[in-house]
């Protein structure tokens, strides 16, 4: 009977360091997860601010394009009203000028759009980079700890 008690006591002592280690691991994982979620919340808030900043830029871009287009249409209308009678050559000249103005406006608008998309992509790339930079070390630590735990249990 005393051998059995000694055996149970030694078994409990063997389990205590393992349980203590497991508890420390779980507590560390919880702390790490809490820090991780806090950093994700902070990053999400930063991204939301970045989104609001870019939203204003996009709205400004479209407002500017609309205003330029309206101004150009007004200019064309006033020019057309001033000249009721024109010769065929004058009409062709005016038509080619309008076509060239439209082409230039389209190219300028397209370039402005490309520049805006580039800056927007850079911002999101930066956010993804920081997300990876924060998560990869945590994942490596979790994998190492799991490998050590599985090794202890096997």
Place of tokens 């999101």: 124
Q: Give the range among 6-20, 33-47, 55-69, 124-138 with minimum mean pLDDT.
A: 6-20
Q: What are phi and psi of 83, to 5 degrees?
A: -120, 95
What does the radius of gyration of the chain's CA atoms come to, in whole angstroms?
34
- The 3-state DSSP class for residue 84 equals coil
CA proximity to 50, closest of 115, 120, 128: 120
- Tokens (6 digits) for 42: 């902070």
Q: Which residues contact 109 (CB under 8 A, 6 or more apart)?
A: 65
Q: What is the mean pLDDT of the chain?
A: 78
CA proximity to 64, closest of 31, 108, 19, 21: 108
Q: Give the range among 10-19, 51-60, 135-144 with minimum mean pLDDT.
A: 10-19
User: What are 69-121's pLDDT values in tens digits?
Assistant: 888 888 877 877 776 556 777 778 888 998 999 899 889 888 888 888 888 78
Strand segments (E) across the chain: none
């Amino acid at each position: 009977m005393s051998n059995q008690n000694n055996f149970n006591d030694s078994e409990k002592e063997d389990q205590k360091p393992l349980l203590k280690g497991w508890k420390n691991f779980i507590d560390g994982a919880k702390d790490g997860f809490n820090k991780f979620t806090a950093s994700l919340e902070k990053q999400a808030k930063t991204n939301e601010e970045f989104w609001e900043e870019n939203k204003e830029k996009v709205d400004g871009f479209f407002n500017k394009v609309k205003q330029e287009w309206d101004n150009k249409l007004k200019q064309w209308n006033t020019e057309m009203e001033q000249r009721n009678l024109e010769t065929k050559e004058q009409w062709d000249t005016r038509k080619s000028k309008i076509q060239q103005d439209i082409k230039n406006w389209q190219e300028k608008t397209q370039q402005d759009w490309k520049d805006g998309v580039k800056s927007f992509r850079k911002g999101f790339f930066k956010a993804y980079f920081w997300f990876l930079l924060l998560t990869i070390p945590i994942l490596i630590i979790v994998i190492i700890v799991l490998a050590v735990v599985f090794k202890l249990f096997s």
